[in-house]
Amino acid sequence: MRTRLGALPLALALALAGPAAAAPPLTLVSTTTTRDSGLLDHLLPRFEAETGITLRVISVGTGQALALGRRGDADVLLVHDRASEDAFVAEGFALARRDVMYNDFVLVGPAADPAGVAHAARIRPQAASSPVAASRAGLADASAALARIAKTQAAFVSRGDESGTHQAELRLWQQAGFDPRAASGTWYRETGSGMGSTLATANELAAYTLTDRGTWLAFRRRGALVLFVEGGAALRNAYGVLVVNPARHPHVQVEQATRFADWITSAAGREAIESFRIDGEVAFHAAAP
């Protein structure tokens, strides 16, 4: 009787304590392009099934993603603006940057082509295109197309959110010798939102816009926009993964974040990226090991 009664307080304490608390989900901050294209819905269930690690995803532009990383509100980042990523590492906010995948940016717009972009780019507009773009277009053609848009003041919709796509767009405008922000609110509109929403706005306004190919492939059948300019090194769109530095933010789940970075750059991760299709087309290409 004494043995049984003496065991009761311990048994009661264990019952009240319940099961051990589960590890909090890993916070992945990624771009809206990986969300809007459907890529994350394809990748993350595979990662979770293979590792048992659950993820909480925040989708914002690359600029906002890096800001969340600087504040310690992320464990790992999947973003696409190399200059900003390198600065993030140099400032000590990430352990390192690893190449993950790439696709490209494309310039799309209304089939009526009010700015004459097809003539400026020396190509014919098309509703669909191979994910491996020909070299017929690129920096000179994209810049020439944007210069034509500025000259004619044809409607152009920008993300305007400091995302990787927005930064790429501003670099192309600079090559065209024009700062479109001076025309903000007139023919140049800034949505301040993700790529899917920006494409929808461009479609409603019969406007041109710059988009990543993955989101374009997911969106192209929903509207009347067509593709005008693609290809060339200047339009290449590379993605990197960064584990937030625990020396800056000790609460970062560095072991789980590193496992995600290891997985997405592994043979399994590369196969998952390459197997993602939109209407039968590869939307992203895995980086070389």
Task: Write down the pLDDT at residue 18.
Answer: 47
Contact 211, 172 (CB under 8 A): no
Which residues contact residue 82 at a Cβ distance below 8 angstroms, ignoring those fewer than 6 apart?
A: 238, 240
Helix, strand, or coil (residue 250) = coil
Kindly report the CA angle at 48 between 47 and 54, in degrees rounded to 5? 130
**Check: CATH 3.40.190.10 for 104-235?**
yes
Kindly report the CA angle at 168 between 222 and 104, in degrees rounded to 5? 55
Provide the residue count of the chain.
289
pLDDT mean for each 10 residues of the chain (289 residues): 43 45 87 96 97 97 97 98 97 97 96 87 45 41 92 97 95 94 96 96 98 96 93 92 98 98 98 96 94
Task: Write down the pLDDT at residue 232.
Answer: 83
What superfamily in CATH does domain 25-102+237-286 come from? Periplasmic binding protein-like II (3.40.190.10)
Task: Write down the pLDDT at residue 125.
Answer: 45
E strands, the chain, where?
26-30, 55-59, 76-79, 94-110, 156-158, 188-190, 209-212, 225-229, 236-244, 277-278, 281-282, 285-286
Task: Write down the pLDDT at residue 150.
Answer: 96
Of 220, 231, 167, 180, residue with least CA distance to 196: 220
104-235 and 25-102+237-286 share a CATH fold: yes
Of 47, 178, 166, residue with least CA distance to 100: 47
Contact 229, 52 (CB under 8 A): no
- pTM comes to 0.84
Task: Write down the pLDDT at residue 141.
Answer: 84
Task: Write down the pLDDT at residue 264.
Answer: 98
Cα–Cα distances (Å) from 174 to 52, 63, 141, 230, in that order, read 46, 19, 14, 18
Domain locations along the chain = 25-102+237-286, 104-235
Place of tokens 């590369």: 270
